[in-house]
Amino acid sequence: MNREKIDSLLEKYWNCETSVQEEEELQRFFSYGDVPEELGQYIPLFSYIRNEQSVTLSNNFNEKLQQALETQSKKRYITIRIFTPLLRIAVSVLLLIAVGISFYFISKQDNRPNFVETFEDPNAAMQQAAFALEKLSHALQKSETASRETIQFIDDLDIDWAAIDSLNKTNPVETDSVRMKNKE
């Protein structure tokens, strides 16, 4: 088999485009042919495929399978339902104990906040607090001014609030009557 044909078959094989006959041809080439050194890396692959295709089931496989299924169906497991209520009770008791222990530790825990004095000089602390409160006051005043300007701007728009409110009503007769009044 010529090298060009093998290269094209390998290209088709890697692209999953080969037929069964072409794959058999590749297997024969790599099994019995004079394989060039560059293609020697593919010999184990094609010999593995050939070996795996030759694996078959034994003649008495169906009988063994049938016997295994029959012995499996003969074994019956009896479940004792006595333990189910006992398990439920045990789990409930353990749950109650766990909740009790967690409440005990939560109640014993000291949840008071710990404040740490970071200033050694009380006057410095007062200055920092006054500065922070002044900044907060300034920010609140800016926010109030912006809110008043926005409300004044909306008032200046001359919006017909009755018409907008009538759009929320579901009765079409009322909506039409409001529209007629607005047109007049």
159-164 mean pLDDT = 78
Whole-prediction pTM value?
0.32
Q: Of 33-37, 90-94, 130-134, 170-174, which gets the smallest average pLDDT?
A: 170-174
Rounded to 10 deg, the angle between the 20-32 and 43-53 helix axes is 120
Question: Of the segments 38-42, 74-78, 134-138, which one has the largest average pLDDT value?
Answer: 134-138
Q: Where in the chain are the domains? A: 3-53, 122-157
119-137 mean pLDDT = 89
Q: What is the pLDDT of residue 59?
A: 82
- Pick from 2, 19, 17, 14: nearest CA to 41: 14
Q: What is the pLDDT of residue 145?
A: 94
137-154 mean pLDDT = 93
pLDDT beyond 70 at 33: no
Cα angle 93-98-104, degrees, rounded to a multiple of 5: 125
Q: What is the pLDDT of residue 28?
A: 81
72-80 mean pLDDT = 66
71-91 mean pLDDT = 75
Cβ contact 125:119 at 8 Å: yes
At 93-117, the pLDDT tens digits run 999 999 999 998 888 877 666 666 6
